[in-house]
Amino acid sequence: MFNFKVIAESTTSRARAGMIQTAHGTIETPVFMPVGTQGSVKSLTPEELSAIGTQIILGNTYHLYLRPGCDVISRFCGLHRFMNWGGPILTDSGGFQVFSLAKFAKVTDEGVEFQSHIDGSRHLLTPEKAIEIQTCLGADIIMCLDECIQYPAGQQDTQAALESTTQWAKRCKHAWQRNANGHNALFGIVQGGMFKDLREMSVDALVTIDFSGYAIGGLSVGEPIDVMLDIAEFTLPKLPDMKPKYLMGMGTPENLIELVAQGADMFDCVLPTRNARNGQMFTSKGTMNISNSRFKLDTNPVETSCTCYTCRNYSRAYLRHLYMAKELLAHRLHTIHNVHFFIRFMKQIRSTILTDTFDAFKKDFYDKRKHDCLE
C-alpha cells in the first residue's frame, strides 16, 4: 500500500506539502526521517520517537544485513516487530554504506562485492539481493541499489557509475515486481555526480522504468554547499511532481529549508543524533556546544521556547555536567532535543506551506540566526 498526494504548494517557491500513505501509517511531507542505523535510533525508544512527533524512521540495510542478519529479523516478520516501532520505515539499499564503510567494494556486472567492516566476511550485494533483504526487513519504502561515487569524480567515472545504477534500477524493479509488489514502495535513486547532463540522463532513465518515488543520491558527499544546492535545484524539478522527491543524507536546517524551497519532500540525516552525542545542540539561533564552560551555572534549558522533554525538565548546567561526566543519560537527553528540533522544524515548514507563508518563515529563520549567534 502506497499513495502520495500533494495537498498544498507555495506560490513563491517550489515548496509543497503532501501526504504519503503506507501500510504503517500516513506521513505528512515535507518530512525528516531520523536514522535508526542498526534497528535503533541511537539511545531512544520508539515511544520517545513518537512523543517527539517522528513519523517515519530510516533503517540501514547494510548494517542490518550484516548484524543481526535476515535470519534473526525474519523471526519477527521484519524490523517493525523486532525493534517495536509501529510506524512507517524506509530502508536504504545498502549501496551507500558498501562504498563508504566496507573494507573494499568491487563493482561487477552482477553487483558489488564487499568485505564486512565488522568481521571481514565477504558478501555479494546484487540488485536482487538488495530487494530481497529489504523485503525481509519489511520496510514500507525500499530503495534501489545504486553505485555511489566518491567526490570529486571525473565525468567518465561518474557516467560509468551511473550506467551501473541505471542497469541495477531495472533489475531492482523486476525483482520488486516478483517479490514484494504492493507490500511496499520502491524508489529509484538519481545519480550523476556533479554533472547536470548525467543527472538529467539518470532522471530520464529512472522515470522510464517508473518508480513510486525518486531519491537524489550522491549529494552531501564532500562537495561545496552551493554545488549541492545547484545540482538539487537542477534535478528536483525534472522529477515527476506527482511522486515524492527524497533528498538522501540531508542535512543542516539551512540545507533543509533551501531544499524544501526547491521542492524536496523527504530527508534523512544522522546530524541530529550524531551531533547530540558530541554535545552539539540545535536551536533556532544556531548550534550550541553544551560542553562550553559558560553553561556551567546556567539554569536555563537549551532553548526556552522548546517543548521537548529535555528542555521542559533539564538545565544547560545539568546537561553540561552529564556530558562532561560521560553519563549515558547525556546522549539521550541531547538526542531527544535535537531530533525534536528537526521534527518540529519540518512541521513548522509544513504549516507555513499550508498557509502559504513559507517565504516569510524562511526569512525569519535566517534573521534569527543573523541577530543572535550562540557560538
Least separation in angstroms between CB 298 and a copy of itself: 9
DSSP-based three-state secondary structure for 305: coil
Among 106, 122, 178, 296, binds a copy of itself (CB under 8 A): 296
Least separation in angstroms between CB 161 and a copy of itself: 30
Closer to a copy of itself by Cβ: residue 298 or 359: 298
CB-neighbour burial class of residue 326 (10 A; exposed 0-12, middle 13-18, buried 19+): exposed
Among 50, 177, 208, 313, binds a copy of itself (CB under 8 A): 313
The Cα-based distances of 322 to 141, 199, 277, 297 in angstroms read 37, 46, 11, 13
Determine whether 109 is an active site residue.
no
- Give the total of residues touching a copy of itself (CB under 8 A): 35
Among 318, 341, 345, 358, binds a copy of itself (CB under 8 A): 318
Looking only at residues 330 through 349 of this chain, which bind a copy of itself when binding is defined by CB under 8 A? 331-332
Least separation in angstroms between CB 310 and a copy of itself: 10
Among 297, 355, 364, 373, binds a copy of itself (CB under 8 A): 297
Residue spans of beta strands (DSSP E) within the chain: 2-9, 16-22, 25-29, 31-36, 57-59, 89-91, 105-107, 112-115, 122-125, 141-143, 185-190, 213-216, 245-247, 266-269, 280-283, 286-289
User: Which ranges constitute the DSSP H helices of 262-308?
Assistant: 271-277
Looking only at residues 80 through 99 of this chain, which bind a copy of itself when binding is defined by CB under 8 A? 82-84
**Cβ count near 252 (within 10 Å):** 16
Determine whether 298 is an active site residue.
no
Query: Which residues of this chain interact with a copy of itself, rule CB under 8 A?
Result: 38-40, 42-45, 63, 67-68, 71-72, 75-76, 82-84, 296-297, 299, 313-315, 317-318, 320-322, 324-325, 327-329, 331-332
Which sequence positions are flagged as catalytic?
92, 268
